[in-house]
Amino acid sequence: MASADNPAGPYRDHGPLVSQPAGSIDGFPMRDENNQLYLIWKEDGNSRNEPTPIWAQRLNEERTALVGEKVELFRNSAPWEGNLVEGVSMVRHGEYYYAFYAANGCCGPGCTYATGVARARKLTGPWEKYDRNPVLLNNNTWKCPGHGTVVERNNRWYLLHHAYDAQSQQYVGRQGVLSEFTWTAAGWPEFQGGSTPVAATAPAPRPINEEFQGSTLAPDWQWPVEQKPTFSLRSGQLQLTGRPEPGGAVLGHHTYAASYTATTTLLQPGQIPAGSVAGIAALGDPENEIALTAGGGQLQLWQLEKGQAKVLSAAPLPAATKLTLRLRAQAGTAYQFDWSSDGGKTWQLLPNYAAVNGAYLPPWDRGVRAGVVVRGPATAAFEDFRLVVGEK
């Protein structure tokens, strides 16, 4: 637990509340029928091919320590739940406590996630699972919905959960979905059509058009959590200092869809010395990447797969003070790169070029980012970055 006087921090770390050998995750605070505060959590037994109990234990009012003994509420016991139950969100409604929970495989192309519900008259049980579980499952719009939080507003009930857009799935990653439900006469939640509402996905976002003005980077840029890059904004330029790792230093942007076009303008590419490269990239994680870069007098198309780098194509670097690099992704798997030395009026491919298969890029639970990369000791300057959703 950590606390702060302001949601933005700074936070004080009060240390772990519970730490079991198999892992303790998905904490949720809840008061029982006597107004006693409890912590609900999952023991991460699936990490060891073991069951996944959902535990409850008293929590002191300062929320800094557990007290008393833990009590098991339920565990994965139904066939549809597979090797886990997790992500409990609890609510009191009428005479019962209701635990909304996720089960089975959360992520990736073979995901099997769905949502169930159980109820009990007392927080510590006994708990009864709904015989019509799962209550929230796939439809043509959203895949693998689960791990949500119950919300009530103006007498309407919702579950805010994550799911994959059926059109882009793992290439964009899990997205936030708000699904409405009602209560049956028997007192169980019922989602529209027994699934997430069949509705259009959110409209495509406005094109991202970064000119790197000001002194701070926009908050929607991202980087690997353990490899924060060194960068600065000066005079309308993003100056990014490289890293020696095979994937280099990266700044990435969420792509929102499986098909998109990203461009960036690299300044003074001819001044990037041998041993360093800079350019545009499709970013999975620090060990999986596809990039078009300039450096050491060459343009190179290369890929990084499981930490192993390989140059796919190369060409002499043109004599230009600015180089526009373009990345086009189609359906999340085909990645095409080209370049322009005249500001995008004409585009050129590298020799022996074909679209690169990037099906391997997405991490198991996140998604592909588009962004800029610098590998090696040099610092490179970028004038802009643009991203447009859809095929262009």
Coil/strand/helix, residue 112: coil
Q: Which of 385, 384, 386, 387 is nearest to 237 (CA)?
A: 384
Domains of the chain by start residue, with CATH: 2-194 (2.115.10.20), 208-389 (2.60.120.200)
In whole angstroms, what is the distance from residue 243 CA to residue 192 CA? 50
Q: What is the DSSP string of 128-178?
A: EE-TT--SB---SSEEEEEEEEEEEETTEEEEEEEEEETTTGGGT--EEEE
pLDDT tens-digit map of 164-199: 999 899 999 999 999 999 999 999 999 976 565 555
pLDDT computed for residue 268 by the predictor: 97
Q: Residue 193 gets which letter from DSSP?
A: G
pLDDT at site 333: 93
Tokens of 62: 């300062």
Q: What is the pLDDT of residues 251-276, one digit of tens each?
A: 999 998 999 999 999 999 999 999 99
d(CA 306, CA 82): 29
Torsion of Cα atoms, 84 then 86 then 91 then 94, to 10°? 0
Q: What pLDDT is attached to residue 364?
A: 83
Assigned token pair, 196: 């997430």
Query: Rounded to whole angstroms, how far apart are CA atoms 20 and 337?
Result: 47
d(CA 16, CA 64): 8
Which amino acid type is present at position 290?
I
- What CA–CA distance (Å, rounded) separates 318 from 23? 54
Task: Report the chain's mean pLDDT, rounded to a whole number.
Answer: 94
Q: Residue 84: count other Cβ atoms within 10 Å of its Cβ.
A: 23
Residues of the chain with pLDDT under 70: 193-204, 391-392
The pLDDT of residue 204 is 65
